[in-house]
Amino acid sequence: MSRLALIADLHLSDIPGTSQWACFSWALDVIRRNKPDAIIVAGDVTSCGQVFAARQFRKRLEGINIPFIITPGNSDMRAETSMSGLLEALVTPKKLELDDAVILALDLSNGALCENDVALCEKEFASSGGKKIIIATHQPPDFQGGRHYKTGPFTLFLAGHRHKDDVIYGDDYAVHVVRGLDPDKASGGPPCLSFFNLSHGKWTRHDEIFAGGSPDVFDDKDRREFMELLGISCMDEPVDTMKHAGDHSIRCVEVRSRESMFSSGLAEAISSWRDSGGRVLSLHMPGLQLCPDTASVINPAAWQYLIESGVKLGINQLTVHAPGVPVSRMKTGSQARRAVVQFLARCLVPVLKKGIIIGIENMHVRNGEPFDERRNFGYLPDECLEFIRELKKELGHNNIGAMIDTGHARNNRPFSKRIGVSDWYARLGKEAVGYHVHQVKNEKGGMTNHLGFEGLYGPLVSLSGFFWAWKTGQLRHAPVFVEVRDMAARLRTVKLLHDAMA
């Protein structure tokens, strides 16, 4: 009887302490307890081919003294400048033989099966001697579309890559695609470690769930605190949104300076919401931009007026986008950067004196935007962190931090391939003064932001890493604003989170 453990889609980075590393540590503990005969690693160990992460993974895997076999994934093969070091860490012989089974690890990291792997399969199919053959790859082939590799008597095919579970049964084989171990990407549930048992000639599967990436680990106190900080953003229909917040004891609400702040009846709705127990009113400012040829803020009087109008509404918090200025102009010490910081100081020092908290929001690459220094500032955690620290020093106040937008962090290609959402949590979590949560969707030409969640886990933004970081204290506990454009989807998302904490 053989028992196999399947690790897939960890997407480890070089940033320590992320939910991905925590999930890997958990998985190793589960493997030690269950003592499988072999471990299969089905690719995407790293998020972008980071050699240090790959070496740490290999070292820790070797430390549990269980045979293992590794095949790389497409994310691992992104390391163009360090491929030799990566392959040294993530390459094993392509065959691992057990008493009653043979595991073949095929490289489908680029989506195609090479001739050497085809030859290996043919050789093993012809000489298996009655042993069950297991094939493991990263990217699953299309078994239902006619383009499959059922060219011999394998009984089990294992893969990852899609970040969601799928099972296909043939007459004499089964294909299992697993959602994997990345708390930011595993869809359909928290990350899981899958075990496969061969008994009496049949394979069965058992999943161990990473409960640390779900509200299941929250106690009653945690749940009450989260609910007190769960908020909603008035992206449209602000008066109705505010009324809904009052009727359903939503303590935190965000209004938007252009879309909602001047809506008729909003002041009265805010007053009623306050009377019902509303605590945190946040104002989301429009982007701050400089003139192309001078270090002058575009329309500074209008920006100042919006802040003053928010203060009159009784705001407790202010969200400011990272400046919409090219990176080439925002270098530390540059004239443009000094102009931005000094303008914000003039606007925000009076606000800080009133006890209002300032959050700097991370931004994301727009469709068609260049990726070099012509891109706008604020797309990387360290850019945002350095800017926040500079503002704190300039303004002489600590009530300035990060407004972490989880959707922006996910919708940030190509940087999101290397810097995952949990990397943002690890770098900025202690500086956070609030959060924007929304789902994103792949569409033609790019991704769409500010969509509602149909579930806690995916398909593109999973909240598992958020829950883990919140529970462990990696994220500072602060208002969590559901920033969804459509009113019905907005309310469904709030209810989803409410029910998760009920």
pLDDT in tens, 123-153: 888 887 778 899 999 998 765 443 445 555 6
Provide the Cα torsion 310, 399, 466, 183; round to 10°.
Answer: 120
- Tell me how many degrees the CA angle 350-259-310 measures, rounded to the nearest 5: 20
- Nearest one of 386, 376, 379 to 431, comparing CA atoms: 386
Q: Which pair of structure tokens corresponds to residue 472?
A: 């462990």
Helix/strand number for the chain, H first, E second:
14, 21
Q: Where are the alpha helices (DSSP H) in 46-182?
A: 51-62, 83-90, 115-127
Q: Which pair of structure tokens corresponds to residue 144?
A: 């239902």
* Domain map (residue ranges) of the chain: 3-213, 215-501
pLDDT beyond 80 at 55: yes
pTM of the complete model: 0.94
Query: Measured between alpha carbons, how far is 69 from 170 in angstroms, rounded to an integer?
Result: 25
Identity (one letter) of the amino acid at 34?
N
Query: Measured between alpha carbons, how far is 474 from 15 in angstroms, rounded to an integer?
Result: 13
pLDDT in tens, 61-102: 999 999 999 999 999 988 777 788 888 999 899 999 998 889
| Whole-number CA gyration radius for the chain | 25
Query: Measured between alpha carbons, how far is 435 from 153 in angstroms, rounded to an integer?
Result: 51
- Tell me how many degrees the CA angle 285-469-355 measures, rounded to the nearest 5: 40
pLDDT in tens, 352-402: 999 999 999 999 998 888 889 999 999 999 999 999 999 999 999 999 999
Mean pLDDT of 310-339: 94
Mean pLDDT of 176-181: 96
Query: Measured between alpha carbons, how far is 114 from 260 in angstroms, rounded to an integer?
Result: 57
Q: Do the Cβ atoms of 254 and 231 come closer than 8 Å?
A: yes
3-213 and 215-501 have identical folds: no
What does each C-alpha distance from 181 to 12, 103, 204, 423 come to in angstroms?
Answer: 10, 21, 20, 15
So what's the architecture of 3-213 in CATH?
4-Layer Sandwich (3.60)
Domain 215-501 sits in CATH at: 3.20.20.150
pLDDT in tens, 8-29: 999 999 999 999 999 999 999 9
